Amino acid sequence: MNIEQLEYIIKVAETSSISTASESLHISQAGISMAITSLEKELGIKIFKRSRLGTVPTDEGKDIIQKAYEVLSKLEEIKDSAQAHTGTMEKELRLSATQGLFLTVLPKSLALFKKKYPNVKIVIEEKGGQEIIQDVLQNKIDIGLLNIARENPKEEELDFQTLMEAKVVVTVSRNSPLAGRKSITPQELQDQTLVFYNGPNMKAFLQEFFTKYGEIDILFLTNNTEVIKKTVAEGLAITLSYEIGINNDPYYMSGELVPIPLTNYHLNLMELGYVRSKKLNFSKAAKEFIKCLESYTTTLKY
């Protein structure tokens, strides 16, 4: 048994595909298959079975894969311990963030981190919340910054931590008759046409809204935030946004979009935070970045 075999079975389990694992690890499919077969023979059990769902772990294999996670995590802890004594740091930190956090919380937090650790290469992508969760599950990133849903998927594999809360605001065009309003009530939204971000948090918000106030006119839902902002700026609809991203957004800064507080509504707060894998070791670079992130977001609460 060797470390590479453990890495292979973890990646195949994460992707449910030898071919996808092969591409991710830059190893031939034949090489991965042979390594897994060799490990199965050594242990005397079948780790994977092929089905219409792909290459999935057997009941015995699930236990072996969990143990493999634990072994690799301990190996990372050994590396971290050595780095702590030598003062070294991982060479790369991989991050993803939703747009609101990408534009606001992330830049300042990264500036604090880079000041302390200038030699760490940082790779950042802007993605949607569900994409970020998948990237964490597949070990494509170390940390994801996102809106935290009330019911989080894969909770047994993922660690969600709240950093701060953001209020819901109604966003309208500067030419909208509503642009001069000091606030808007939920009842007044029923006379408007709206567009929404197509994510689980907003869907949960809408379901709660429909239950309490009845249906509203929805023009469309989309995962493209740029399309939403253009649609609202052109006066074709209004939308609900989270206040965290608006102060640094060009549309709001130019005055094309106007935020208005939503009042008299009990579900007007959204939790913002980060997600990481429970199964993988939390690297020193990731831990230090979280310290910078928490330090900066604390200043935004007061």
Q: How large a percentage of the chain has pLDDT more than 70? A: 90
pLDDT tens readout for residues 233-263: 999 999 988 787 677 788 999 999 999 998 8
Residue 193: what pLDDT?
95
Within 8 A by CB and 6+ apart from 73, the residues are 279, 280, 281
Residue 122: what pLDDT?
93
Residue 224: what pLDDT?
84
Quote the CA–CA distance of 251 and 229 in Å, as a whole number: 8
Residue 40: what pLDDT?
93
Total residues found in the chain within this entry = 302
Find the range with the poorest average confidence among 7-11, 79-83, 164-168, 228-232. Answer: 79-83
Q: Give the position of tokens 């991989």.
A: 94
Residue 81: what pLDDT?
66
Average pLDDT for 260-283:
80
Residue 254: what pLDDT?
94
Does residue 301 or residue 79 have the better pLDDT? 79
Q: Please report which confidence band the pLDDT of residue 281 belongs to, taking 50, 70 and 90 as the band edges.
A: confident
Residue 270 has pLDDT above 80, yes or no: no
Q: Select, from the ranges 26-40, 240-254, 285-299, the one with the highest average predicted confidence (pLDDT).
A: 26-40
Residue 102 has pLDDT above 90, yes or no: no
Six token digits for residue 217 = 């006119």
Residue 302: what pLDDT?
46
CB 91, CB 119: distance < 8 Å: yes
Residue 172 has pLDDT above 50, yes or no: yes
pLDDT tens readout for residues 114-167: 988 888 999 999 888 888 998 998 889 999 998 887 666 666 788 898 888 878
Q: What is the mean pLDDT of the chain?
A: 85
Residue 300 has pLDDT above 70, yes or no: no
Quote the CA–CA distance of 46 and 59 in Å, as a whole number: 9
The closest of 170, 169, 174, 152 to 161, measured between CA atoms, is 152
Q: Which domains does the chain have, with CATH numbers?
A: 3-85 (1.10.10.10), 87-164+271-300 (3.40.190.10), 165-269 (3.40.190.10)
Q: Give the position of tokens 């809204």.
A: 209
Q: How large a percentage of the chain has pLDDT more than 90? A: 39
Residue 70: what pLDDT?
86
